[in-house]
């Protein structure tokens, strides 16, 4: 793989794929870290007199109406504070670049091309070729998107010499201890809302860690499989997922831990209870991880929160977990969009060894030591 840091590229036109898929609340960007993390690569390219064509996806585009609420214009307005750039309203109309004197452009959401046919998400090579005609070089700096081999994250490499940007290089190097696992005992803490999205990762990563703590919404399904009443709590109904969890609890039970301390909503009241005290209409909204579960560890990978941390009092579990981890004499690695947002919300961003910009990408990299887009680029880089 070619790193941008090893090559001085000057006077070229660059397609720079970033991940600007930032969270938005009440019409405002609530966490700008994905944007600011791209500044190092952007500034380096501008300093060397390159013209930059910024690309990113934003949200999910399943139908035409989704475009209105998933425009990158909000990111354009943010970037205008730092750069003199031009916005291209249609990712299929890049011709405007040829008649502009600007040095930096932001192209509208690449996933707009998924309507009516899935072109971006299906890594349509005709689409990638169209984009490639407007550049000399492709730089991929969207670490958080590398677990998807899309036209803008992978396909472009087939037509343009490709380099990994500073953020991708930083992520790969800083996450390396989670790949080599030289510090043991190694604890993985998995939280978040949906177990369906993480079960395959859990199956893989449990073979590499010494201890796995399950918390957050994904714990509900584990509890259900164990035979507990979880009331009206979020739970998976996917039979394959339920079977996977059953097998994990049989074969890896000595590695899997959870804390029996929950905050539930019962008839508009919030109660702190044990799982055995659950009633049929209770909804689990937070899990308080016991401090004793964090004893005897040298390295930790945290992905996911303990509950609905954005809403009081359901942030108590996540807040306590972050505080307990910050007091440990261990290497602590944090990954995942909501996890990082929670770290910032509770002001622990300077307390851990490394905070990754990736969610699913970080998970896949730690679990499998590879990412779909990077594997594609290795095989297809046009500079070979």
Task: Return the CATH number at 58.
Answer: 3.40.50.1260
pLDDT tens column, 353-375: 999 988 889 999 999 999 999 99
Same domain, 164 and 280: no
- Burial tier of 64 (Cβ tally within 10 Å: 0-12, 13-18, 19+): exposed
Say if residue 16 is in the same domain as residue 133: yes
Q: Is residue 118 in some structural domain?
A: yes
- Report pLDDT for 352: 96
Regarding whether 157 and 55 lie in a shared domain, the answer is yes
**54 and 160 both lie in a single domain:** yes
Specify whether 115 is located in the same domain as 206: no
Does 274 reside within a domain? Answer: yes
Q: Tell me the C-alpha distance between 201 and 9, whole Å.
A: 37
Residues 145 and 232 in one domain: no
Residues 199 and 136 in one domain: no
Quote the pLDDT of residue 213: 98
Is residue 341 pLDDT above 90, yes or no? no
Give CA–CA dist 373/171, Å, rounded: 15
Angle between helices 316-326 and 337-345 (to 10 degrees): 80
Q: pLDDT class for 30, splitting at 50, 70, 90?
A: confident
The two beta strands, 331-335 and 354-355, are parallel
Question: Are residues 44 and 66 both part of a single domain?
Answer: yes
Query: Which tokens in the block code for residue 25?
Result: 């609340």
Angle at 82 between CA 79 and CA 83, to 5 degrees: 80
What mean pLDDT comes out for the span 155-169?
97
Is residue 127 a part of any domain in this protein?
yes
Query: What are the distances in angstroms from CA 230 to CA 123, 224, 282, 289, 320?
Result: 41, 7, 7, 18, 23
- How far apart are the C-alpha atoms of 240 and 236, rounded to whole Å? 10
Please indicate, yes or no, whether residues 109 and 192 belong to a single structural domain of this protein.
Answer: no
Average pLDDT rounded to a whole number, residues 65-89: 96
For residue 367, is it within any domain?
Answer: no
Q: Quick one: pLDDT at residue 190?
A: 95
- Token pair, residue 197, equals 């999205």
Model confidence band, residue 178 (pLDDT cutoffs 50, 70, 90) = very high
pLDDT for res 25: 85
Residue 42: closest CA among 67, 89, 75: 75
139 and 116 fall within a common domain? yes
Contacts of 98 (CB under 8 A, 6+ apart): 134
Mean pLDDT of the chain: 95
Q: What is the pLDDT of residues 102-158, one digit of tens each?
A: 999 999 999 999 999 999 999 999 999 999 999 999 999 999 999 999 999 999 999
Domain shared by 128 and 74, yes or no: yes
pLDDT at 361: 92
Query: Would you say residue 195 lies in a domain?
Result: yes
Is 90 exceeded by the pLDDT of residue 1? no
Q: Report the number of distinct structural domains present in the chain.
A: 2
Residue 383 pLDDT class (50, 70, 90 cuts): confident
Q: How far apart are CA 270 and CA 263, in angstroms?
A: 7
Confidence label for 33 from pLDDT (cuts 50, 70 and 90): confident
What's the pLDDT at 31? 84
Spatial CA neighbour of 89 closest among 65, 112, 61, 59: 112
pLDDT for 359 equals 85
Whether residue 120 contacts residue 131, with contact meaning beta carbons closer than 8 Å, is answered with no
Domain range for 270 is 176-355
Helix/strand/coil for 35: helix
Whether residue 233 sits in one domain with residue 268: yes
- Is residue 337 predicted with pLDDT exceeding 80? no
Interval 252-261: pLDDT, tens: 999 999 999 9
DSSP code for 133: T
pTM: 0.90
Q: What is the pLDDT of residues 216-246, one digit of tens each?
A: 999 999 999 999 999 999 999 999 999 999 9
Does residue 39 form part of some domain?
yes
Residue 58 has pLDDT above 90, yes or no: yes
Q: Which of 85-99, 110-124, 252-266, 329-343 has the lowest mean pLDDT?
A: 329-343
């Amino acid at each position: 793989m070619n790193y941008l840091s090893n090559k001085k590229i000057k006077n070229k036109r660059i397609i720079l794929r970033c991940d600007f898929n930032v969270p938005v609340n009440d019409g405002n960007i609530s966490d700008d870290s994905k944007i600011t993390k791209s500044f190092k690569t952007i500034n380096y390219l501008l300093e060397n007199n390159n013209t930059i064509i910024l690309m990113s996806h934003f949200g999910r585009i399943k139908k035409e109406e989704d475009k209105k609420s998933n425009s990158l214009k909000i990111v354009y307005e943010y970037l205008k504070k730092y750069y003199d750039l031009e916005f291209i309203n249609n990712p299929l109309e890049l011709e405007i670049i040829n008649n502009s004197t600007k040095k930096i452009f932001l192209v509208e959401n690449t996933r707009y091309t998924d309507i009516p046919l899935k072109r971006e998400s299906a890594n349509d090579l005709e689409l990638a070729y169209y984009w490639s005609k407007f550049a000399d070089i492709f730089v991929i700096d969207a670490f958080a998107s590398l677990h998807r081999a899309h036209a803008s994250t992978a396909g472009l490499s087939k037509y343009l010499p490709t380099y990994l940007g500073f953020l991708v290089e930083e992520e790969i190097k800083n996450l390396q201890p989670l790949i080599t696992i030289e510090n043991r005992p190694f604890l993985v803490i998995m939280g978040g809302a949906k177990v369906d999205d993480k079960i395959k990762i859990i199956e893989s990563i449990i073979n590499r860690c010494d201890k796995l703590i399950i918390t957050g919404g994904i714990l509900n399904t584990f509890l259900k499989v164990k035979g507990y009443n979880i009331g009206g709590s979020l739970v998976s109904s996917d039979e394959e997922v339920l079977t996977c969890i059953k097998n994990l609890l049989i074969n890896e039970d000595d590695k899997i831990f959870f804390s029996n301390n929950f905050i539930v909503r019962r008839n508009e009241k919030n109660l702190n209870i044990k799982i055995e005290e659950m009633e049929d209409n209770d909804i689990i909204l937070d899990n308080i991880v016991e401090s004793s579960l964090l004893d005897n560890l040298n390295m930790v990978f945290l992905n996911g929160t303990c509950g609905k941390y954005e809403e009081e009092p359901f942030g108590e579990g996540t807040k306590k977990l972050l505080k307990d981890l910050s007091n440990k004499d261990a290497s602590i690695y944090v990954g995942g969009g909501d996890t990082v947002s929670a770290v910032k919300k509770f002001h622990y961003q300077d307390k851990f060894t490394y905070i990754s910009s990736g969610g699913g990408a970080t998970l896949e990299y730690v679990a499998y030591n590879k990412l779909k887009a990077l594997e594609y680029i290795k095989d297809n880089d046009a500079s070979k």
